[in-house]
Amino acid sequence: IDRALKNRAELKEMRAKIKAAEWGLFLSRIDRYPKITAEYSYDVNLDDYLRERENFKDYRSWRAVAKLSFPLFDGGVSRRREQRYEIQLRDLKESYKSLQRQIMLEVRQNYLNIMRTRKQLEILDKQVRNAKANLDVTTGRYEQEVATELEVAEARSLYAQAMTNRVRAYYDYKIAQAALRKAMGELR
């Protein structure tokens, strides 16, 4: 189950969505606080310098700006944005838990299906052995002229049916294995 919870693409996608919603909530909360910004620039006017060819210091300029801005009133937009992200995050977390439970159930069901088909395969192996033994006994009885051709034909039919059932059970078992691997996120 742990491997399934780690490997399933749906859970990875849901975790990424939750992370994005958490960042969205974080950024929406930051918007409500004062902001400090700083800018710095250094310019050289090369056109004038190359034309005049005088002192290079005269054609340089420096600029530094610091801003402090306070959000006084935005009509509740930032608060509603924050609430929207909180609701979205809560919904995503609930969906994530639901998806986890669904995957755990799927893995358990597929595991039990493998156990059932394995047991069925063991039973059908015994039936094939019994049908083969019955065919051998009936064939021996026919060779000693104690059994009829009809009894031999019935024994062959039972053996063929047992073999067919065993082959079907084998493929059901392989399908159950593949379903479990898919539920665990190993197959796409």
What is the SS3 string spanning the chain? CHHHHHHCHHHHHHHHHHHHHHHHHHHHHHCCCCEEEEEEEEEECHHHHHHHCCCHHHHEEEEEEEEEECCCCCCCHHHHHHHHHHHHHHHHHHHHHHHHHHHHHHHHHHHHHHHHHHHHHHHHHHHHHHHHHHHHHHHHHHHCCCCCHHHHHHHHHHHHHHHHHHHHHHHHHHHHHHHHHHHCCCCC
Residue among 141, 130, 118, 138 at smallest CA distance from 163 = 130
CB atoms within 10 A of CB 135: 19
pLDDT digits (tens, 9 = 90+) for 81-125: 889 999 999 999 999 999 999 989 999 999 999 999 999 999 999
Tens of pLDDT, residue by residue over 152-161, are: 999 999 999 9
Say what percent of the chain tops pLDDT 90: 58
Asked if CATH classification 1.10.760.10 holds for the domain at 2-33+71-183, the reply, yes or no, is no
Sign of CA dihedral 101, 107, 112, 113: positive
pLDDT of residue 48: 60
Which band of pLDDT confidence, cut at 50, 70 and 90, is reported for residue 56?
low
First to last CA, the chain: 17
Least confident among 44-58, 75-89, 147-161: 44-58
Q: Which residue has the higher pLDDT, 101 or 44?
A: 101
Instruction: Work out the mean pLDDT of the chain and round it to a whole number.
Output: 88
